[in-house]
Structure 1
Amino acid sequence: MSQLAILYEHPAWFEPLFAALDRRGIGFDRILLGGHSFDPAGDAPPAPVVLSRVAMSSFLRDPEHPIFYAEALLDHWEASGARVLNGAAVLAIDSSKARQLSLLSRLGLSIPRTRVVHRARDLVEAARGFGFPLLVKANIGGSGAGIARYSSLEELRAAIADRAVPTSIDGVLLLQDYAPARGGTILRMETLGGEFLYAIEVESGGDTFDLCPADACVATPGRAAIGMKAVDPAPELVRAAEAVARATGMELGGVELLIDDRDGTARFYDINALSNFVADPLNVLGWDPHERLVDRLRHIIEEEVGR
């Protein structure tokens, strides 16, 4: 049995990681979620260390997506003794924007003003006291899916009547203040092992919500190129990203924020436990973050084997 197993859904997204592990001579097993099953009364973990690479956007590719299945599977493996990186508890946060915002707020970070509902018809009442434009978001999204902008209460009412508002696979919706991003950019900070790894500034159009900067996203046919560059965030933002990673137990993942152009407030709005890493890292960053990830995985494997 290998010392490392990688659980994933997308057949091609993690080839750079697999290649980096091969280059470094680290054996691992690939476990594709499609068609997977497990015995809750048995089935030992596939390896002492398991890395979860479950994508929230999987529901866009398959209506029989594995998000909730993976949560049960990871919980089973953890309870059976495996060290699961980005395990069931992390997946539960990753799959709920509502829970993310609650966590961010408890950490003392500013978030966009938000109301959470479980019925589309309640959005109008939830919008009382909000200004326009505002956003309606699916609680579980991915690659910018499930986000719509409304310019007036009448437009929102019409969308509800036409059943045109976003839907979420868990039935939960967020109504959120639209915060204009200063400079037309958002900031994405990546973490590894609870520590800051790198940050990039990504161009953001007012009606564009698919801002994934990874190879897996940039290469999508028909997808417009997005501008991005490496940046050095303010120390307080770095500390905030590290606090989020540690509070969630996220072994690797990103934290996103924007600077509200109305008042200069840094508003945190997304925690993403699936890091595909930035496209063309050698040119954007000057180094390849997959090598740092492999270093971290090797260290964790050595810890587990030495127990």
Structure 2
Amino acid sequence: MSKAYIIHENESWIVPLRSALEELGVPHEFWHLHEGKFDLSEQPPSGVFYNRMSASSHSRNHRYAPEYTANVLAWLEHHGRTVLNTSRALELEISKIKQYLELDKFGIRTPYTVAASGKEALVEAARHFPYRTFITKHNRAGKGLGVHLFDNVAELERYVFGPDYEESVDGITLIQQYIRNEDQFITRCEFIDGKFYYAVRVDASEGFQLCPADACQIGDRYCPVGEKAEKRAKFEVISGFNSPLIPKYEAFLQQNGISFAGIEFITDTAGVAYTYDVNTNTNYNAEAEAAANVSGMKEIARTLSQYLKKEIELG
């Protein structure tokens, strides 16, 4: 029997998707790929495979889940299985460097960024960085890992050689242009089956929460968009959102085998948009969706059901 197989490593993130699949009666099975085994001489099961592997898996003690998943995806793709969020999608998920280089191909502006491996190289990169104020972030991250704001190189040097330094799991740290947004918000565009679904406005006045389903708060000092503002809804679906970025995002997703994703951008004081994150294991905020009468997980479940029907029709 063909099923929708969901590849993941975080039980808490799949709860709403499980509910949506059950509600719509979609046959499914969850593959938690923190650990496991597969026989290269065997055929994979028939069905549709939805990859939700996360770049932040190591923060949940699932250090090698992405590496293992990459090989499972290679096995599935070798046998011609339908994979939604392919091995290329995973490659971009775990490297912001590769994300930015690929976004650039589609004319999508990203913040000025320098990559460094090693503490001395990181400080040296900061000394030659063209912007006085800058942030750091991990190349393989998620959840805002490694995001810190610095006003000068001396601050960075104290942090890097101090007891609180967080090294990226892949050994690469990015120094990135600080983008100031006067209204203290970022915009996250959600895509389902490679097409724009909706955009959500994310309040960043009390910290920078990258994932709407997981508490990823970091202090104001480490927030790329600045100081506190009045209390407001953390997430709000934007009615009638439109942007010239949408067709560029869709082309980027199609070219890179990404079916489901959230893409985040921030607009500076001059109105220039900078795209800084592509998340291929996207989650949704239940409160914001309820207010807008939309459901990302139900739409994903419907999409998986449609792909399954095509699989059955093709035999």
Q: TM-score, normalised by structure 2?
A: 0.88
Question: What is the match of residue 11 of structure 1?
Answer: 11
In the TM superposition, what is the alpha-carbon distance from 1:45 to its structure 2 partner? 1.7
Q: Secondary structure at the match of 1:199?
A: strand
Write the mapping of 1:234-253 to structure 2, written as runs, cut at 5 A: 234-253=242-261
Say which of 279, 284, 297 aligns to 2:291. 284
Q: Does 1:184 align with 2:192?
A: no
Q: Select the residue among 245, 257, 279 that pairs with 1:272.
A: 279
Name the Cα RMSD after superposition.
Answer: 2.2
Output the CA distance in 2 between the equivalents of 1:246 and 1:18.
26
Tell me how far apart the structure 1 counterparts of residues 216 and 92 of structure 2 sit (CA, whole Å): 27
Q: Which residue of 2 aligns with 1:230?
A: 237
Deviation for aligned residue 1:89: 1.0
1:95 lines up with 2:128 in the alignment? no
Residues 185, 202 of structure 1: 8 Å contact kept: yes
Aligned residue pairs: how many?
299
| Segment drifting more, 72-81 vs 276-285 | 276-285
Q: Which sections of structure 2, spanning at least 5 residues, go unmatched?
A: 218-230
Question: 2:157 is matched by which residue type in structure 1?
Answer: R
CA contact (8 A) 1:135 1:149 kept: yes
1:303 aligns with 2:302: no
Select the residue among 252, 264, 270 that pairs with 1:256: 264
User: Residue 261 of structure 2 aligns to a residue in which SS?
Assistant: strand
Equivalent in the alignment of 1:155: 155
Q: Identical aligned pairs, as a percentage?
A: 27
CA separation in 2, counterparts of 1:288 and 1:108?
Answer: 30
Farther-moved stretch of structure 1 (147-156 vs 57-66): 57-66
Quote the offset at 1:171 in angstroms.
1.2
- Inter-partner Cα distance in structure 2 for 1:237 and 1:102: 16
CA-to-aligned-CA distance 1:137-195 (integer Å, 9 cap, x gap) = 11111111121211211111222222644311111111101111241000000001111
Task: Pick closer, same or farther for the CA change 1:205–1:248 going to 2, 3 Å.
Answer: farther
Q: Which residue of 2 aligns with 1:172?
A: 172
TM-score (norm 1): 0.90
**Structure 1 residue matching 2:130: 3-state secondary structure:** coil
What is residue 213 of structure 1 aligned with on the other side? 212
Partner of 2:59 in structure 1?
Answer: 60
Instruction: Give 2:97's aligned amino acid.
Output: A
CA–CA distance in 1 between the matches of 2:77 and 2:216?
34
- Which residue matches 1:33? 33
Distance in 1 (alpha carbons) for counterparts of 2:179 and 2:9: 33
What CA distance in whole angstroms lies between the structure 1 residues aligned with 2:163 and 2:62? 19
Q: Note the residue ranges of structure 1 that are not aligned, 5 or more in a row.
A: none
- Within 1, Cα distance between the matches of 2:163 and 2:90? 29
- Structure 1 residue 97 displacement after superposition: 0.5
What per-residue deviation string (whole Å, max 9, x for no partner) do you get for residues 29-48 of structure 1? 22122331123x32322332
